[in-house]
Amino acid sequence: MGRRVGRTALALAALTLFAPAARGAPPAEDPIARAAAALMAAQLPSGLFQYDFDFLDGKPSGQDNQVRQAGTLFALGEYLLETGDPQAAASLRAGLDALAERSLPIGRGRVQSALESLGLFAPPLGAGTLTRIYGRYGLLFTRAGEGRLVADQGDYAKAESGTTALGLAAAVAYFRATGDRRFDPIRRGWLLGLVALQLPQGGLRAVPTALDRSPFFEGEAWLALAGYHAVFPDDPDAARALHALEDYAIGFYGAAPSPSFYHWGALASALRYRANGDPRFVRFAAAQARSALESHDPEKLEGRNTCSLVEGLASAAGILQASGIEPELAARLRERVALELARSRPLQLRPGQERLEGGGGAVLQAPALARHAGAFLAGAHDAYTRTDYTQHCLSALIQARRAGLGSGASPDAAAR
């Protein structure tokens, strides 16, 4: 046990080398602080967050998305690591408790394990066909075991692996920042829940009731496992799952880049490089970033919220710069990040703002805007905010600042 604690302490010390030199809450006018404050102000008594707000209708849409709820906690975890803000720690505790309450047990049955060992969970007949066959006989998963999956409305069909992955990432960040071990059991359960959904090839099932995969969820799971392994390097389950998933991801998404996978995979590869210095993660990040630059035309994206793209590009720029690999690409990434940040910053609602200017001289007067100060809009002419827009922008600003790329122009300088 002493050796395990010692290795964990060393891992935390190593990760600290890549943290900002100075910790502490940024000034209230800082865009990072504004975004974090907006998310925390939107937290509901349940521990989850108000999902969205339509300023034209003057109310939320009534929709929700559990993956984006967990993603909000991930972004606040990044903020907590940057600042040590006790309010962010309290918000994370409430949010992690909410996800824990919504978690269901999962395990692998003996027949399922045997089928996996024989390679029969690789769908040669198509994922839908095998899903129907295995589902009919209860061979896709068991409703008992040490694993836990966050399940929307207590439904295994809605227990998306991405939700559990981002909850796990947030729980790891909370532990790193505070040393508080209250979430040790559920953190371990979420890890084993992801392990229970891992396919023999290394990829990850989207939900336990099917064999389909999701690029979003595989990227989120890689990031979560990378963070977990960095802090708990002696956990064999995490190590096996991480190495299998990242070998699969680098091979599969290296051959067929996916915009859905991109920014989560970029964050994961950056974290892995910072943890072990393996240049293959830099090479992968460089190839993925080059593909992202080619597939995201800046002219076509003008006026849209591009913070998720910035998360990936900024993290890639940081490790390219640190490694000295492909300096010309690193310069291109810095230039593109600066452009997208300058465009995104005016999308952040300002304190006291009560009006939005739209195309053709239209003006929306909405006092509710002031109640959402710090939140980010969906686009330059969208009177709509959603928790993931602000989540991604908070994370993007943090990634850019970590990479020494600043946080964009002042929003007041580009006021509508």
User: Average pLDDT, stretch 288-302?
Assistant: 96
Confidence at residue 411, expressed as pLDDT on a 0 to 100 scale? 36
Task: List pLDDT tens digits, range 122-146.
Answer: 665 567 787 888 888 888 999 999 9
Task: List pLDDT tens digits, range 355-402.
Answer: 998 777 788 999 999 999 999 999 998 999 999 999 999 999 999 999
Task: List pLDDT tens digits, range 34-73.
Answer: 999 999 999 999 999 999 999 999 999 999 999 999 999 9
| % residues pLDDT > 90 (the chain) | 80
Per the structure block, which two tokens stand in for 254? 């290296």
Residue 221 has pLDDT above 80, yes or no: yes
Q: For 6-10, 155-159, 182-186, 251-255, which range has the lowest pLDDT when averaged over its residues?
A: 6-10
Going by C-alpha positions, the residue among 206, 177, 171, 174 that lies closest to residue 190 is 171
Confidence at residue 361, expressed as pLDDT on a 0 to 100 scale? 77
Q: Is the pTM of this model over 0.85?
A: yes
Per the structure block, which two tokens stand in for 69? 């709820």
Count CA atoms within 13 Å of residue 66 on its CB side: 24
* DSSP states along 72-92: HHHHHHHHHHHH--HHHHHHH
Domain boundaries of the chain, sorted by first residue: 2-22+37-414
Per the structure block, which two tokens stand in for 337? 């990040």
Confidence at residue 113, expressed as pLDDT on a 0 to 100 scale? 86
Can you name the CATH fold of 2-22+37-414?
Glycosyltransferase (1.50.10)
283 three-state secondary structure: helix
Per the structure block, which two tokens stand in for 104? 């269901």
User: Average pLDDT, stretch 69-95?
Assistant: 98
DSSP 213: B
Confidence at residue 141, expressed as pLDDT on a 0 to 100 scale? 94
Distance CA 173, CA 297 (A): 34
